[in-house]
Amino acid sequence: MLSISRTLEADVVIVGGGIGGPMAAIAASEAGAKRVLVLEKCHVRRSGSGATGNDHFSCYCPEVHGSDVEPVLNALMNSLVGQAKDVDLMRLHLLESFDIVKKWEEWGINMRPLGHWNFEGHALPGKPRAFLKFDGRKQKAVLAEQMKKHGVTVLNHHPVVELAKENGRVCGVLAIDATKTEPSFVLVKTPCVILSTGLTHRLYVNGSTPNYLFNTAHCPNNAGGQALGWRIGASMVNMEIPYTHAGTKYIQRAGKATWIGVYRYPDGRPLGPFVTKPDPEYGDVTSDIWNSAFIDVMQNGRGPAYLDCSENTPETLAYMRKAMFDEGLSALIAYMDDKGIDPAKHAVEFTRFEPILHGRGLDVDKDGLTSVPGLYAAGDMVGNAGCGLGLAAWMGWRAGRAAAASAALVPEAAGNLADHPVIRAKMELLSSFMERTEGASWQEANIALTQIMSDYANVGPYKVRSESLLNTGLTYLAQLREETKNNLKTSCSHTLMRAAEVLDLFDCAECIMRSALERKETRGSHKRSDFTFTNPLLAEKMLDITRKDDGTIVTSWRNTRV
Ligand SMILES: Cc1cc2nc3c(=O)[nH]c(=O)nc-3n(C[C@H](O)[C@H](O)[C@H](O)COP(=O)(O)OP(=O)(O)OC[C@H]3O[C@@H](n4cnc5c(N)ncnc54)[C@H](O)[C@@H]3O)c2cc1C
């Protein structure tokens, strides 16, 4: 078996150092936790979906929006981050997030690039705008610096691959030390874990370039963190409700609200009714509202759909270019410059990407607490209050404070983590991948999974789910799991990390398919051919799904919290 290079202890362990993770770490430290440890798969200065920047922070600012939060809440719920969320949490997020904005400004992130609180993008004309436009280029470096100032210990290149539970409470984590070519294991005993591993992709065949697993709109390093919660028995929510993003056709990139233009048919007519000329304040919200717009026009032959920025003034074009750097789109700009693509002259084709788990995952309360004592979650991997950086920063902050308070009340966990049956089994499985002299690569397993998901659990409007398709998908998934366990071979810490991700992706896939079986209706892109209607009785309900310690899976419906 691979060696255990270190065994550590911490009051609070944070898994993932993107946006939610650092905020949780700083808050835990401020709330009095002495030993706060961040385990990050990549490097906290440049990791996660916000690695190179973001520029829209969802929040409510009374001096801009007035004294009533409800119209702003309404705008947020109707935006791309509001789908299938608990309304009470979204309201609380709005009410508390401007304090986070001020904190970020104090720490050195440029929250007012125009010198005033400027809300724009992702908005319907005439409606309140819930997104503060800021310059997030430095956000990761600033958060890393703040963690340092707060005495947080960060272990970069330490992907977490398993969690352990004792007497029903979380008691430790297993990570891979991937700092060297030869991997080893690191164990951490802790009474509190905050998961903030971002969204999950590589579950479906890539929507832009099927042959390229890593042509992704978001951080290519995030894959399957929801599975850590699933395996330890945390309730998951909204896993069956598909989320699809959209952006430039063959180079997947998020950040569509930073573009200032009008989506048009090839003959020049606008796709949507919202704008006919570029509008920096609102953007063109058509694809947020009409999610399948870009593939609909391909299916009906009226497409493709182009974003036309040509009617901008030179000033708004310059503003858009700068904002694209703030947003982390520097690589896309470099590519466009290199190829002579000028938004003033050239329309850019847009498409819908494959489904991802963004704002689908763990079910949490207002402090990020999951159904497992000691386990918290924040950010894109949260199912009922995650999707976007504002929610990640806010929930991370709350979870950090709550975890610090909880850790203070829990006596040191006894026992040797290395002998914990779940940890032991995971170490043996991962070690077996390294010990094999022959075998399949992790890419083969991952590609097979994307094929199964795209064939048997795909999303509407052009693909359907049904009891027989989903059950067949589950059968193939079980076979793929067995094949993978028995045949996968890895050669270094990097490929071992990817193999562990694939195991996580299997669990996410199973969770999606089992939830999709339980939702016996059609809702949004969850299109059931055997239940073609939308059931009004489920309109204000959410589906929870939990894996019990004995491996059985239970589902239950709860009311959406308002
Ligand atoms: C180009 C672009 C522009 C965007 N613009 C906006 C915007 O303007 N407004 C907005 O609201 N949102 C925006 N987003 C989305 C936003 O970046 C995310 O919502 C936000 O980063 C989520 O924060 P998070 O902490 O949940 O996840 P992330 O920031 O993605 O961080 C997750 C971290 O977890 C680490 N990790 C993953 N798995 C493990 C593991 N097993 N062990 C240890 N570490 C792990 C990852 O390496 C990563 O560092 C944009 C995204 C992109 C790609």
Relative to the CA of 19, which ligand 1 atom is closest? 25
Distances (CA, A) of 207 to 212, 213, 249, 469: 10, 10, 9, 21
Tokens encoding 371: 């159904």
Distances (CA, A) of 124 to 57, 72, 236, 284, 409: 17, 12, 31, 8, 47
- Tell me, what DSSP letter sits at residue 488? B
- The alpha carbon of 126 and the centre of ligand 1 are apart by a number of angstroms equal to 30
For the chain, helix, strand, coil in percent to 5 are 35, 20, 45
Q: Which residues partner with 264 through β-bridges?
A: 270, 306
287-291 average pLDDT score: 88
Query: Does ligand 1 have an atom closer than 6 angstroms to the CB of 473?
Result: no
Tokens encoding 140: 């990761």
Distances (CA, A) of 459 to 135, 198, 205, 352, 463: 34, 22, 12, 12, 5
- 326 membership: H or E segment, kind and range: helix 314-326
Q: Is 559 exposed, middle or buried (0-12, 13-18, 19+ CB in 10 A)?
A: exposed
Q: Assign 151 a pLDDT band (cuts: 50, 70, 90).
A: very high
- The alpha carbon of 374 and the centre of ligand 1 are apart by a number of angstroms equal to 23
Q: Which residues partner with 39 through β-bridges?
A: 15, 155
Q: Whose CA is nearest to atom 23 of ligand 1?
A: 19
Task: Give the distance, in angstroms, between the CA of residue 408 and the centroid of all CA atoms in the same chain.
Answer: 30
Relative to the CA of 217, which ligand 1 atom is closest? 53
- The alpha carbon of 483 and the centre of ligand 1 are apart by a number of angstroms equal to 31
Query: Does ligand 1 have an atom closer than 6 angstroms to the CB of 156?
Result: no
Average pLDDT of every residue of the chain: 96
- The alpha carbon of 502 and the centre of ligand 1 are apart by a number of angstroms equal to 19
Tokens encoding 109: 């992130």
**Ligand 1 pocket: which of 201, 214, 329, 389 to mutate (most atoms <8 Å of CB)?**
389
- pLDDT digit string, tens, across residues 343-395: 999 999 999 999 999 999 999 999 999 999 999 999 999 999 999 999 999 99
- pLDDT digit string, tens, across residues 190-214: 999 999 999 999 999 999 999 899 9
Q: Whose CA is nearest to atom 12 of ligand 1?
A: 388
- Helix, strand, or coil (residue 384): coil
- pLDDT digit string, tens, across residues 36-53: 999 999 999 999 999 999
Contact 510, 442 (CB under 8 A): no
Domains in the chain: ranges and CATH: 55-135 (no CATH), 244-353 (3.90.700), 418-559 (1.20.58.100)
Relative to the CA of 136, which ligand 1 atom is closest? 8
- The alpha carbon of 148 and the centre of ligand 1 are apart by a number of angstroms equal to 20
- pLDDT digit string, tens, across residues 406-426: 999 998 766 899 999 999 999
Query: Does ligand 1 have an atom closer than 6 angstroms to the CB of 395?
Result: no
- The alpha carbon of 437 and the centre of ligand 1 are apart by a number of angstroms equal to 36
Q: Whose CA is nearest to atom 46 of ligand 1?
A: 48
Query: Does ligand 1 have an atom closer than 6 angstroms to the CB of 118?
Result: no
Relative to the CA of 44, which ligand 1 atom is closest? 49
The amino acid at residue 496 is L
Query: Does ligand 1 have an atom closer than 6 angstroms to the CB of 390?
Result: yes
- The alpha carbon of 80 and the centre of ligand 1 are apart by a number of angstroms equal to 16
Query: Does ligand 1 have an atom closer than 6 angstroms to the CB of 229?
Result: no
Residue 328: how many CB atoms within 10 A of its CB?
A: 23
Relative to the CA of 159, which ligand 1 atom is closest? 42
**Ligand 1 pocket: which of 26, 45, 49 to mutate (most atoms <8 Å of CB)?**
49
Using the predicted structure, report yes or no on whether residue 173 has a pLDDT greater than 70: yes
- pLDDT digit string, tens, across residues 236-273: 999 999 999 999 999 999 988 899 999 999 999 999 99
Query: Does ligand 1 have an atom closer than 6 angstroms to the CB of 389?
Result: yes
Query: Does ligand 1 have an atom closer than 6 angstroms to the CB of 278?
Result: no
**Ligand 1 pocket: which of 37, 54, 58 to mutate (most atoms <8 Å of CB)?**
54
Query: Does ligand 1 have an atom closer than 6 angstroms to the CB of 399?
Result: no
From the list 25, 43, 16, the residue with the least C-alpha distance to 163 is 16
Q: Whose CA is nearest to atom 53 of ligand 1?
A: 218
- pLDDT digit string, tens, across residues 50-87: 999 999 999 999 999 999 999 999 999 999 899 999 99
419-436 average pLDDT score: 98
Using the predicted structure, report yes or no on whether residue 122 has a pLDDT greater than 90: no
Task: Give the distance, in angstroms, between the CA of residue 20 and the centroid of all CA atoms in the same chain.
Answer: 11
Using the predicted structure, report yes or no on whether residue 221 has a pLDDT greater than 90: no
Q: Whose CA is nearest to atom 27 of ligand 1?
A: 198
Q: Does 412 or 32 have the greater pLDDT score?
A: 32
- The alpha carbon of 161 and the centre of ligand 1 are apart by a number of angstroms equal to 18
135, HSE (Cβ side, Cα atoms, 13 Å): 16
